[in-house]
Structure 1
Amino acid sequence: MPQARAYHLTGTRGTLAVREWSGDRPRYLALVVHGYGEHIGRYVPLAELLVRHGALVAGPDHMGHGESAGERVLIEDFEEVVTDVHAVARRLHEDRPGLPLVVIGHSMGGLIAARYAQRYGESLAALVLSAPVIGDWELPRRLLALDEIPDTPISPAALSRDPAVGAAYAADPLVWHGPMKRPTVEAFARTLDTVTEEGDVGPLPLLWLHGDDDRLVPLPGSRIGVEQLSGGKLTERVFPGARHEVFNETCKAEAYETLTRFLDGVLAG
């Protein structure tokens, strides 16, 4: 079993809760960036897989999420979240100098990871995006056109065809089950524009994973952003019938295998 530990760092707007998983003599670092309304504790199966593959894995709960400080799901500037993620990366490099770093971002975490790669790409060996909020995501436009954002939480059934995934999500006290907040939606809209405007990430190897039945972050709009972000080293895998969380889907073994094969190629190179 991997060794797990939790610690805290000082973030841009308060204390960040960080979790880390490691084994013996890791050969690379994997920084996992979670999605909207959830927390890094939902990524234990992915972390355990990556530790078996040779990684030291870590990830923070973003501001206003999980066990980190801040008003729940309130993010006024995603640049601050990127800075927080970089604080974790610095800690990893201090503890394990010389190891290559891979950033893996899911959903909102994909937007954060994309912006991270634009700001700090020279420090990365690879970027992995799972169902990333990037490109033409219409939800912010639709919500900001309303006088009041409706109290419509994420449907657990939208995450995976595995009902156990939705049930665990619905029962998780660290998951936010309320409405989105207008400043956060506004920050989403600004950062989507920023990522588009800042251009591609050059030769950085990029893996994109997505389900073709993702109704939270539809595949066509995400494709626009991924293709704009990629500097040419793009590997993609679309999973037929899969919903939003490919690492928690009924096809998760294929998603894991695709991820580790990609990382093997990156590390060998």
Structure 2
Amino acid sequence: MWKWEAEGQPKAVVAILHSAYENHHWYAWLIERFRSAGFHVVMGDLPGHGKQGQYLRYHNEDFKGYLTYTKRLLNIALEYNLPLFVIGNGLGGAIALRALQKYKIECAGLVITSPWINLKLTPGKIPNALSSFSAFTSNVKLNHELTLYHFTRNTDVLLELKEHLPLNNVVTVKWYSDWKNLTRDLRDPEFKLPNIPLLLMNGEKDKVADSSASKRWLAQQSLSEYHYKEWNDCFHSLYFEVEREEIFQFTVDFINNVLRDLGYIIE
């Protein structure tokens, strides 16, 4: 885990969860923008990602490990004794939602972008690869044909991303099955998301995540405050996009409004 502290008096702390195949270096711009706006930031790499996964040929991590990692990340963020806001992108968004369903963690608000509740672009060429899931098929490798060009149309960001660790988008059938189980739990009415403010954002031209699935999921939640925003022309990773300054400001406005409702004076 890494910590970046705010310039001046902090308003709150932000914990960021990246998506599959990514690493925290990809979020340097977002981390710096939050710091400049008066927020502490806590972030790390999901198990099997970043330098830990540098020499792995495929992803076969246990999703229970993802949830345990998330619980630890959020508890570290809470050590600042400030309101906690969780930012989750893609798979990180789905993991954040499931972790807050599962664990009793004090959270002031959630910002979820392009969550992997359902996918348009799935790993493998056979959509029903899991129909015969068994111990014999669990280690079968699936190529998730997701490239950097699915993330953003921002050419400057694409050049930055290419300078970091290569995109390892090969997963096992077990990994894919674990993701399917996670999304099943997310949709299960028995597992309720805590009643905390939520901002859910999607890109209009996202070819990776199914925005209609996340909209249906949102409609089924019993939340007192939620906001939905779809960004015109945007691809999957909103904080990498051409409009990222506007998207970031929209995010900060949401967070500041939540802080005001909690009784904080925001200048």
Q: What is the DSSP-based 3-state SS (H/G/I as helix, E as strand, rest coil) of the residue aligned with 2:143?
A: coil
Q: Distance in 1 between matches of 2:22 and 2:57?
A: 10
Select which of 56, 61, 64 maps to 1:79: 64
* Range with greater deviation from structure 2 (179-188 or 236-245): 179-188
Identity %: 22
Contact 2:202/2:229 (8 A) holds in 1: yes
Counterpart of 1:222, as a letter, is: S
C-alpha RMSD over aligned residues: 2.4
Aligned mates of 2:172, 2:74 — CA distance in 1: 28
The residue number in structure 2 matching 1:44 is 28
Trace 1:131-210 onto structure 2 (pairs within 5 A): 131-134=114-117, 136-137=118-119, 139=122, 142=127, 144-145=129-130, 149-173=141-165, 175-197=166-188, 198-210=190-202
- SS of equivalent residue, structure 1 residue 231: coil
| Structure 1 ranges of 4+ moved more than 4 A | 69-73, 145-150
Which residue of the partner structure matches residue 90 of structure 2?
A: 107
* Unmatched 5+ stretches in structure 2: 132-136, 262-267
Q: What is the match of residue 244 of structure 1?
A: 236
Higher mean alpha-carbon deviation, 189-198 vs 257-266, is at: 189-198
- Alignment of structure 1 residues 7-46 onto 2, 5 Å: 18-23=1-6, 24-46=8-30
Letter in 2 for 1:86: K
Partners of 1:256 and 1:263 in 2: CA distance: 11
Across the two proteins, how many residue pairs are aligned to each other? Answer: 248
Per the alignment, residue 223 of structure 1 pairs with 215
Q: 2:106 aligns with which of 99, 123, 128?
A: 123
Q: TM-score, normalised by structure 2?
A: 0.83
Alignment CA distance shift 1:122-1:145 (3 Å): closer
What is the Cα deviation at residue 164 of structure 1?
Answer: 2.6
Contact preservation (8 Å) 2:119, 2:208: no
